[in-house]
A and B are shown apart, each in its own frame.
Chain A
Amino acid sequence: MSAVSPQDAAQAAAALIFAGFAGLTVFGAIVAAVARRLVRCVCGLALSFMGLAGLYYFLHSPFLALMQVLIYVGAICVVIMFALMLAEPHEEQISRRRELLGGAAGLLLAGAFAVALILLVGRASWMPPAVQTNGGTVQDLGRALLNRYGFAFELISALLLLAIIGALVVARSGRRPKP
Chain B
Amino acid sequence: MNWLLMNESLQVYLVIGVLLLCIGLFGFFRQRTLVGMLINGELILAGASLNFMAFSHFLAPDPVTGQAFTLFIMGIAAAEAAIVLSIMIGVYRNYRSIETEDLKDLEG
A interface with B by C-beta (< 8 Å): 8, 11-12, 14-15, 18-19, 22, 25-26, 29-30, 32-34, 38, 41-42, 45, 48-49, 52, 55-56, 58-61, 63-64, 67-68, 71-72, 75-76, 79-80, 82-84, 86-87, 89-90, 94-95, 98-99, 102-103, 105-107, 109-111, 113-114, 117-118, 121-122, 126-136, 140-141, 144-145, 149, 152, 156, 159-160, 162-164, 166-168, 170-171, 173-175
| Chain B nearest Cβ from A119, distance in angstroms | 10
Do A168 and B86 have beta carbons less than 8 Å apart?
yes
Q: A59-B53, A110-B26 are in contact. Are A136 and B81 (CB under 8 A)?
A: no
CB < 8 Å neighbour of B4 from A11, A95, A174: A11
A-B contact pairs, 30 of them (CB 8 A): A12-B4, A15-B5, A22-B12, A25-B20, A38-B33, A41-B31, A41-B39, A48-B20, A55-B53, A59-B53, A71-B74, A80-B35, A84-B35, A87-B35, A87-B98, A94-B32, A102-B32, A103-B26, A113-B21, A114-B19, A121-B14, A122-B11, A132-B60, A156-B72, A159-B76, A162-B79, A167-B83, A173-B90, A174-B94, A175-B93
Do B20 and A133 have beta carbons less than 8 Å apart?
no
CB < 8 Å neighbour of B5 from A11, A29, A118: A11
Residues of A within 8 A of B81 (CB): 76, 79-80
Do B13 and A59 have beta carbons less than 8 Å apart?
yes
Q: How many residues of B contact A (CB 8 A)?
A: 77
Q: In whole angstroms, what is the CA distance A175 to B86 when docked?
A: 12
Do A29 and B15 have beta carbons less than 8 Å apart?
no
| Chain B nearest Cβ from A171, distance in angstroms | 4
**Other A-B pairs beyond A41-B31, A110-B26, A170-B83, 5, CB < 8 Å:** A87-B98, A102-B32, A134-B64, A159-B76, A173-B90
Q: In B2-59, which residues have CB < 8 Å from any A CB?
A: 3-7, 10-16, 18-33, 35-36, 38-40, 42-43, 46, 50, 53-54, 56-59
Residues of B within 8 A of A58 (CB): 7
| Chain B nearest Cβ from A99, distance in angstroms | 6
Q: A33-B40, A121-B11, A132-B63 are in contact. Are A83 and B85 (CB under 8 A)?
A: yes
B interface with A by C-beta (< 8 Å): 3-7, 10-16, 18-33, 35-36, 38-40, 42-43, 46, 50, 53-54, 56-65, 67-68, 70-72, 74-83, 85-90, 92-94, 97-99, 101
Q: In whole angstroms, what is the CA distance A100 to B23 when docked?
A: 16
Residues of A within 8 A of B67 (CB): 61, 63-64, 136, 141
Q: In whole angstroms, what is the CA distance A49 to B89 when docked?
A: 25
